[in-house]
Amino acid sequence: MERTRIKLNIVGSILGTSGYDNHTKGLANALYKINPDIKLDVPLAQGWEQVVNDAELVMIKTEPRTPDVTIAIMTPPNWRIALADNCKHFVGYCVWEGDKIPKYWIEYLEDERVEQIWVPSQHTKDAIMNTISKDYKLLHKRPEEHNKELFMLKKIKIVPHGYDPEIFKQINTLHTQDKSTFNKPFCFICNKGWRGGMEDRGGVQYVLKAFANEFKKDENVELTLKLNPAYINPQIVTQKINELELPKDAAKIRIACANMSQQEICKLYNESDVCVCATRAEAFDLGTAEAMACGLPIITTNYGGQIEHMDETCAGFVSYELADVKGDLLYEGVKQAIPNVQKLQELMRASFSQRDITAVKGEQAKEFISRFTWENSAVTANSFLKELK
């Protein structure tokens, strides 16, 4: 397009606490700083005016119009809702965790009206291509045999998620190795959604098992478990943890299962020493990015989109085995990782014992993640919008 200002419609949700809500909110606000000609089309609840910022209020109140581009941040089957509106160009944002996407999504991805498909990571891009192509690796070697797959490959653009550096930052300069001076417990933090049980994708169950197996009551260490109440009723959290049959002599586990502001979550990170994410799969994982911005090193499963915004200088990677997802029809035929709990224990013990190294990794985490801001995501997104003809 020739004009510098593109008339955008962004369709999604921002008023909840899900990953989709946080993603839509972060990207929309960052794009607004580049180009304020945006209509934000989101479900509204009573009192919504009190919980949005000034930019969101303007974007939501923008009158309906025919945009140059509609960006739908939702699962592909729901793109048809946004496609029903008249627009010149359409971009669908696809988020997925696992080695393949659901097969019934393919028809929505291949829709000729969908000119670009945005994904947050190479991991999600690979999941799409693994489902569409019989041999993804041969696409570039024998392109004449894979025209359809190559066309899809060109449609997919990586627009990473990000964090807000005005909110998530280190608010003290006390290094991990210095905290022992005040006899403060060494604190691991796990901030995830969890529905309970051993099959949950977020992997909280593996963090609980590793921590409880490795650390005992007489050690000056604790685990803060920040759970999103959108995924589990706070009243059954203790029951679900008890079902894991953890050792009775385990070190202290603090549970926070309530809606918190981003500022409150930032404070939790700053009170912690290491962020643990024993996930089965992620498309990106905002939590680890935000923790890194607060100066925390990461321990995470060596599988998923989250490993693309960290490396061995600031993270410890847990080995895993791929296994079929059970108990969820949406994930039928999809594999995700099962992290090695013993390796997770070893990495948690090492970070606790070698605090000087842990502190250095925290500083390196803060530096590494600095390129993954929502502002940079918006710049990347804007460059892809300009490719539309």
- Over the stretch 258-275, which tens digit does the pLDDT of each residue have? 989 999 999 999 999 999
Dump pLDDT digits (tens) for 92-110.
999 999 999 999 999 999 9
Q: Which residues, including other chains, have CB under 8 Å from residue 47's CB and lie 6 or more apart?
A: none
Three-class DSSP category at 229: coil
Three-class DSSP category at 198: coil
Q: Chain-centre distance of CA 202, in angstroms?
A: 10
Pairing outcome for strands 320-324 and 335-339? antiparallel
pLDDT at 381 over 70: yes
Mean pLDDT of all residues in 162-180: 76
pTM equals 0.92
Task: Count helices and strands (H / E) in the chain.
Answer: 13, 14
Dump pLDDT digits (tens) for 49-62.
999 999 999 999 99
Pairing outcome for strands 8-11 and 38-41? parallel
CA distance 147 to 297: 43
Mean pLDDT of all residues in 80-101: 92
pLDDT at 178 over 80: no
Dump pLDDT digits (tens) for 269-294.
999 999 999 999 999 999 999 999 99
Q: Which residue has the tokens 């003809």?
A: 389
Determine the pLDDT at residue 230: 85
Of 215, 370, 358, which Cα lies nearest the Cα of 296? 358
Determine the pLDDT at residue 215: 98
Of 18, 26, 58, which Cα lies nearest the Cα of 378? 26
pLDDT at 148 over 90: no
Q: Which CATH number fits domain 176-369: 3.40.630.10, 3.40.50.2000, 3.10.129.10, 3.40.50.2300?
A: 3.40.50.2000
Dump pLDDT digits (tens) for 302-355.
999 999 999 999 999 999 999 999 988 888 899 999 999 999 999 999 999 999
Are the CB atoms for 162 and 374 separated by under 8 Å? yes
Domain borders along the chain are 8-162+374-385, 176-369
Are the CB atoms for 105 and 85 separated by under 8 Å? no
Which CATH number is associated with domain 8-162+374-385? 3.40.50
Domain 8-162+374-385 identical in fold to domain 176-369 = yes
Determine the pLDDT at residue 308: 98
Of 275, 282, 272, which Cα lies nearest the Cα of 305? 282
Q: Beta-carbon neighbour count of residue 167 at 10 Å?
A: 14
Q: Which residue has the tokens 């045999």?
A: 145
Of 300, 357, 283, 353, which Cα lies nearest the Cα of 101? 283
Determine the pLDDT at residue 3: 44
pLDDT at 207 over 50: yes
**What are the CB-based long-range contacts (under 8 Å, 24+) for 321-326?**
322/99, 325/98, 325/199, 325/201, 325/280, 326/199
Using 50, 70 and 90 to split pLDDT, how confident is the model at 140?
A: low
- Type of residue numbered 137: K
What is the residue-averaged pLDDT of the chain?
A: 92
Q: Which residues, including other chains, have CB under 8 Å from residue 191's CB and lie 6 or more apart?
A: 226, 265, 268, 269, 275, 287, 291
Beta bridge partners of 91: 71, 116
